[in-house]
Structure 1
Amino acid sequence: MSALYNHTVARLTYRALLGRRRALIMLLMPALLLVIAFAVRAQTGADDRAAVEILGGFALAAMVPLVGVVAGTGAIAPEIDDGSIVYLLSKPLPRRTIILTKLLIAIGVTVAFTSLPILVAGVILNGNGQRIALAFAVAAAVAAVAYSAVFLLLGTVSRNAVVFGLIYALVWEALFGNVVPGARTLSIQQWSLSLAERIALPGADINSDVALPAAVILLAAATVAGTWYAIRRLRALTLASGE
């Protein structure tokens, strides 16, 4: 386990992600989701259609990737930008341990700020009728894993990781991922939505453009590939710093 996780790296990553500014940014979207859920429930009562539209169209399509951007890029990009990553690279730590530890922390933070609020919002909206709240909460947790890996990788390859991450989250996932049929098949949102479709009861009106077996393979591939290449990039950074 020590080769996969380091407490010092974890502590530094937690401190970076849960600082005042990032924590406030990550709290904003879940707070807005809960406000919307209370308002809709007060207006319409328990409503399966409203729950699917809000949890799918806002929470899974926008909130999860945006929180993923903040957590995934924030786990490593600031340290690379300000040069403090040298502190970790100077320690006798395998580079995979640094990346895997940061990935685990980013996943945990993303799940905490997305999956749990989605579950609560779903219960508020329809009392988990048709298992809708559970379905979207699980989908968000699985999506958090893939987003964290992709955005952590982005943090190692670009000094504009947050900008590119926001473009992906807002343009590709939230816009094209909901509108353009071809783009939907290459969307983490749609892959995770396939899990929600399977978990919810028939009649819940949750539909994904990607079949579940393909979705599971693509989610795993994105996570593994993103993590592997992030490790390679960190090793390259080590070589460059020693030249």
Structure 2
Amino acid sequence: MYDPTVARLTYRALLGRRRALILFALPALLIAIAVAVRILSGADDQIASDVLGGFALATMVPIIGVIAGTGAIAPEIDDGSVVYLLAKPIKRPTIIFTKLIVAVSVTMAFSALPTFAAGYILNGNGQQVAVAYTIAALVGSIAYAALFLLLGTITRHAVVFGLVYALVWEAVFGTLVAGARTLSVQQWSLAVAHEVAGNDLVTSDVSLTSATVLLVAVTVLATWYAGQKLRTLKLAGEE
């Protein structure tokens, strides 16, 4: 189910010079914000939660998920180079699963680690805020990577649709519109974070049970459907 060659090529594509600059930009901004807030406001648990929830989880994690998830496969489909990969004796679900693992690991590395560092800078993990949001970033990374990998297989405008979802649905509707919160990866991740923190600094409108079921279901279904879509891509000469 995992192909090292596909993984190596995908890592190389995702961590190329241009994408690497984009991937580093948001974590660097988060750390800079954390340092500035700590200098200006001192160690404050509520402010730490606001920064990590409002920027790290609501903006940084989904955008990095867009970059990693769509970038794992969409460029190959767009420029046609995917045909060389599909011509290899590798099962197409294996290709999707391998690319998902790569997308998840990149999203985690560029979102969860900076979230943890920023949390410690902000309040030294007071009230378990840093750890709670780090775990939220980790579980959110899995679902985001699967969703945006799927987008990369079904549309040539995957990045655009991914950013609309990340910046409009997640950051606006998922935060402000009560009914939309149950369909937000951010809120599902916050439910896990709330359980870890064990206090009201981290809250979610979704129960832990519902959040867990939805995170697993979205990840599994998105990965499965991406594999099905890749099966429908035909090579020249195929009937």
- Is the pair's TM-score, using the shorter chain for normalization, greater than 0.5? yes
Moved over 6 A (4+): none
The one of 120, 124, 141 equivalent to 1:123 is 120
C-alpha deviation, 1:239, in angstroms: 6.7
SS class of match (2:94) = helix
SS class of match (1:207) = coil
The one of 199, 211, 214 equivalent to 2:210 is 214
Structure 1 counterpart of 2:9, one-letter code: L
Q: Provide the rounded CA distance (Å) in 1 between the counterparts of 2:84 and 2:122.
A: 47
* 2:72 aligned partner: 75
Q: Cα deviations across residues 30-62 of structure 1 (Å, max 9, x unaligned)?
A: 110000000000011111011110000111001
SS class of match (1:208) = coil
The one of 149, 154, 159 equivalent to 1:157 is 154
* 1:111 aligned partner: 108
C-alpha deviation, 1:242, in angstroms: 1.9
8 Å CA contact 2:87, 2:235 repeated in 1: no
C-alpha deviation, 1:96, in angstroms: 1.0
Q: Cα deviations across residues 55-75 of structure 1 (Å, max 9, x unaligned)?
A: 001110010000000000000
Give 1:36-75 correspondences, 5 Å limit.
36-75=33-72
Judging changes above 3 Å, is the alpha-carbon distance between structure 1 residues 167 and 131 closer, same or farther for their aligned structure 2 residues? same
The one of 186, 189, 193 equivalent to 1:189 is 186
Structure 1 counterpart of 2:238, one-letter code: G
> Normalising by structure 2, what TM-score?
0.98
User: Are 1:22 and 2:26 matched, yes or no?
Assistant: no
Judging changes above 3 Å, is the alpha-carbon distance between structure 1 residues 143 and 106 closer, same or farther for their aligned structure 2 residues? same
The aligned length equals 239
SS class of match (1:210) = coil
> Normalising by structure 1, what TM-score?
0.96
C-alpha deviation, 1:238, in angstroms: 3.4
Where does the alignment leave 5 or more consecutive residues of structure 1 unmatched? none
User: Are 1:97 and 2:94 matched, yes or no?
Assistant: yes
SS class of match (1:98) = helix
* 1:229 aligned partner: 225
SS class of match (1:195) = helix
Cα RMSD (Å) of the superposition? 1.1
Where does the alignment leave 5 or more consecutive residues of structure 2 unmatched? none
C-alpha deviation, 1:240, in angstroms: 8.1
Q: Provide the rounded CA distance (Å) in 1 between the counterparts of 2:47 and 2:237.
A: 53
Q: Provide the rounded CA distance (Å) in 1 between the counterparts of 2:86 and 2:229.
A: 13
SS class of match (2:12) = helix
C-alpha deviation, 1:202, in angstroms: 2.3
Q: Cα deviations across residues 172-197 of structure 1 (Å, max 9, x unaligned)?
A: 00111111111111000000000110
Judging changes above 3 Å, is the alpha-carbon distance between structure 1 residues 107 and 213 closer, same or farther for their aligned structure 2 residues? same
Q: Provide the rounded CA distance (Å) in 1 between the counterparts of 2:133 and 2:33.
A: 16
Q: Provide the rounded CA distance (Å) in 2 between the counterparts of 1:207 and 1:241.
A: 54
* 1:86 aligned partner: 83
8 Å CA contact 2:69, 2:103 repeated in 1: yes
Q: Cα deviations across residues 140-184 of structure 1 (Å, max 9, x unaligned)?
A: 010000000000000000000000000000000011111111111
User: Are 1:242 and 2:238 matched, yes or no?
Assistant: yes
Q: Percent identity?
A: 64
Structure 1 counterpart of 2:174, one-letter code: G
